[in-house]
């Protein structure tokens, strides 16, 4: 009896088992992914309701102003627009999850076929922009941190403040006026890519939209890199390395760079997400044949399936990069 009592007391007094580090990390990542999926579902509801609430009768827009009421009613029935809103949403979501985005109301062609080339063009523009943004942000942030509070750093901070305060549309218009139409006229003012041809086959058409996207991206990301480098350069182990007489080059690239990059990697993922979202303005401004300009044209034509598909594609890409940033941030904190 005494042994059983002692055992019971020992069991009660024993500390609870802690979760392993990997299990805790997996739980945190799983929760973030689940919350992201719920957010994506909420976005799908908002997108569907917002497009359905757009002014104008889709059937009348398709048939024209001379259509009779019977023709309009028949078209609404053919499109399923006479069904309850919940039924329409469920049918649309089921089709989207299976890869069927419907047919365009303007051309009658499948949305997936119309968007395939435009998705490729937008992805190409975004990837090239990120390839330019990442090393330039690292270089600019490093130089600003090394020359902190000096003329170079203050000039950079002032210029970045101006760029940040300037809308992308205004910045792009200034670039067009400077290099495409008014002053130098050395580049084409629009970035038209012939159908069936890859964007990199026309490098001159890519220069101005890439320049705007790169300037905006570098302005944002380089400031985060600058702050990270300043924090690392003020750390004890870097100061100790300086006291030991190590060269500045070795301190920067051997000791400071790896530690400064860690918090900047999640920011780079967020930057990629914002680059995708900001491509709508850039593509429309430069007439670049991507999903951003397709979205503007679809809104003008009241093409609901195209609008829904494009917004969901952009939201999914934004979601993926945000989730990647969250996962990288969680991994960085767990070190």
pLDDT digits (tens, 9 = 90+) for 260-319: 777 777 777 777 777 877 778 888 889 899 888 888 888 887 888 888 888 888 888 888
pLDDT at 9: 46
pLDDT at 232: 81
8 Å CB contact between 121 and 199: yes
Contacting residues for 191 by C-beta, under 8 A, at least 6 apart: 202, 205, 206, 208, 209, 286, 287, 288
Lowest mean pLDDT among 218-222, 283-287, 318-322: 318-322
pLDDT at 2: 46
Contacting residues for 215 by C-beta, under 8 A, at least 6 apart: 163, 171
Cα 257 to Cα 124: distance, rounded to the nearest angstrom:
29
Full set of structural domains in the chain with CATH: 116-333 (1.10.3720.10)
Q: What is the average pLDDT score of the chain?
A: 80
pLDDT at 19: 55
147 three-state secondary structure: coil
Cα 258 to Cα 289: distance, rounded to the nearest angstrom:
39
pLDDT at 257: 73
Q: What is the dihedral sign for C-alpha 323, 324, 326, 327?
A: positive
pLDDT at 1: 46
Determine what percent of the chain is predicted with pLDDT higher than 70: 89
């Amino acid at each position: 009896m005494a042994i059983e009592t002692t055992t019971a007391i020992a069991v009660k007094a024993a500390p609870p088992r802690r979760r392993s580090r990997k299990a805790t990390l997996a739980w945190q990542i799983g929760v973030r992914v689940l919350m992201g999926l719920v957010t994506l579902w909420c976005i799908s509801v908002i997108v569907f309701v917002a497009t359905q609430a757009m002014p104008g009768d889709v059937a009348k827009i398709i048939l024209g102003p001379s259509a009779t009421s019977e023709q309009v009613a028949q078209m609404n029935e053919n499109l399923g627009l006479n069904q309850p809103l919940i039924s329409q949403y469920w049918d649309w979501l089921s089709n989207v999850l299976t890869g069927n985005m419907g047919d365009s109301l303007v051309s009658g062609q499948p949305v997936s076929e119309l968007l395939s080339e435009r998705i490729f063009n937008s992805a190409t523009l975004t990837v090239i922009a990120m390839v330019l943004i990442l090393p330039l942000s690292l270089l600019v942030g490093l130089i600003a941190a090394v020359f902190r509070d000096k003329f170079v750093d203050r000039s950079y901070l002032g210029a970045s403040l101006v760029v940040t305060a300037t809308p992308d549309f205004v910045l792009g218009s200034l670039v067009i006026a400077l290099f495409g139409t008014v002053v130098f006229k050395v580049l084409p003012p629009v970035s038209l890519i012939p159908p069936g041809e890859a964007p990199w086959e026309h490098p001159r058409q890519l220069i101005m939209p890439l320049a705007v996207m790169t300037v905006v991206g570098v302005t944002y990301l380089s400031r985060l890199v600058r702050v990270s480098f300043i924090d690392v350069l003020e750390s004890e182990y870097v100061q100790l390395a300086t006291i030991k007489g190590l060269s500045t080059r070795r301190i920067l690239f051997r000791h400071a760079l790896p530690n400064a990059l860690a918090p900047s990697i999640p920011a780079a993922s967020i930057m990629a997400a914002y680059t995708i979202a900001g491509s709508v303005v850039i593509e429309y401004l430069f007439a670049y044949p991507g999903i951003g300009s397709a979205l503007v044209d679809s809104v003008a034509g009241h093409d609901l399936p195209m609008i829904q598909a494009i917004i969901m594609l952009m939201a999914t890409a934004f979601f993926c990069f945000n989730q990647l940033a969250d996962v990288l941030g969680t991994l960085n904190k767990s070190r």
